[in-house]
Structure 1
Amino acid sequence: MKRVFLNAFALAALALAVVSCDQKTTTEHASSTITKEAEAANKVAEENNPAATIANGKFEFTEDQFDFGTINEGDVVTHIFKFKNVGDGPLLITNARASCGCTLPEWPKEPIAVGQEGKITVKFNSKGKPNKQRKRISIYANTEPELSTLHITANVIPKKLEKAGPIK
């Protein structure tokens, strides 16, 4: 009796496995077909509606790093990074951040049209920043990739400490 029950159980499990595999194959095939149909529909939509594709701006910097050379601690120096939009659409800078509070980037808030030029002004305050300095400016815009990076460097000569005189 046990043997008949086990054989029946094994037969039922095998039948279930075959049906499950068959359903899985059918589901995968249907999913694959739907994906191919969706891709084809998207391609037709893009071809018939050029506005459906997103036009991005693209930076073309004249330089992406600048060395101020040797400066004295406490000097505030400025450099202008110039760029041109060589993308397919207007270039919009959404944010610019420096790696340190001693560096302040200023950027255009209005979109830069294709073919037009713009500038990012970077001010570096060397107060309390002696020796070799390297700062990164992260520019976020509607570009691919979204993040562009600029760098400034300077060799800051430390202030000389004033000699202490007699205490009165």
Structure 2
Amino acid sequence: MKTLKISLLALALGLMSFSVISKDAVTTTEASPKASITWKTESLDLGEIPQGKPVTISFEFVNTGKESVVIKDAHASCGCTGTEYPKETIGSGKSATIKATFNAASKGVFSKTVTVTTTADAAPKVLTFKGTVI
């Protein structure tokens, strides 16, 4: 009898943990279909670069959508790379540049990324550059 009461209590608590969410209550953060960015290049091979001498890499893009775009953030994968990006809105048809300045402390092959978050895409865009420090 005690086992039956415990089982019924567990069943009741289990059923109360389920909830129904209406389809209207669910919201998503999707990018506007009217905002769009086209990148000139998403990956660059810098070849050989000198050790200890900063190199600036430019990733150009065009707002090919009908609405203005804002770059929310651009951050590098490591502390050896600084980033610059436009803080103002980029109007339809306008172009802009994300800059990454890489300062190689050690020799060898490298591959770095810059992650860019915009109002045009729900998912961040990952830009890459690679090369060899001599």
Q: TM-score, normalised by structure 2?
A: 0.72
| Match in the other structure for 2:14 | none
CA–CA distance in 2 between the matches of 1:56 and 1:111?
15
Larger gyration radius, structure 1 or structure 2: 1
Residue of 101, 106, 109 corresponding to 2:84: 106
Is 1:147–2:134 an aligned residue pair? no
For residues 59 and 114 of structure 2, the distance between their equivalents in structure 1, rounded to whole angstroms, comes to 11
Structure 1: runs of 5+ lacking an equivalent: 1-30, 39-53, 158-168
Aligned-residue Cα RMSD (Å) equals 2.3
Q: Deviations over 1:111-159 (max 9, x none)?
A: 00011111111110012x32110001000111223301110112012xx
TM-score when normalising by structure 1: 0.58
CA distance in 2 between partners of 1:78 and 1:125 (Å) = 9
Aligned residue pairs total 109
Counterpart-to-counterpart distance in 1, 2:129 and 2:34: 27
Structure 1 consecutive aligned stretches of length 4 or more whose deviation exceeds 6 Å: none
- Taking every aligned residue pair, what percent have the same amino acid on both sides? 29
Greater share of strand = 2
- Report if the CA contact (8 A) 1:56-1:142 is conserved: no
**1:63-89 residue CA offsets vs partner (Å, 9 max, x unmatched):** 011111111211211121111001231
Alignment match of 2:45 (pick from 56, 64, 67): 67
Read off the aligned partner of 1:135 and give its amino acid letter.
K
Cα pair 1:55 1:90 within 8 Å, conserved:
no
For residue 92 of structure 1, what is the aligned residue in structure 2?
70
Q: Which runs of 5+ in 2 are unaligned?
A: 1-20, 25-31
Please identify which structure carries the higher helix content. 1
Q: Which protein, 1 or 2, shows the higher relative CO under an 8 Å CA cutoff with sep ≥ 6?
A: 2
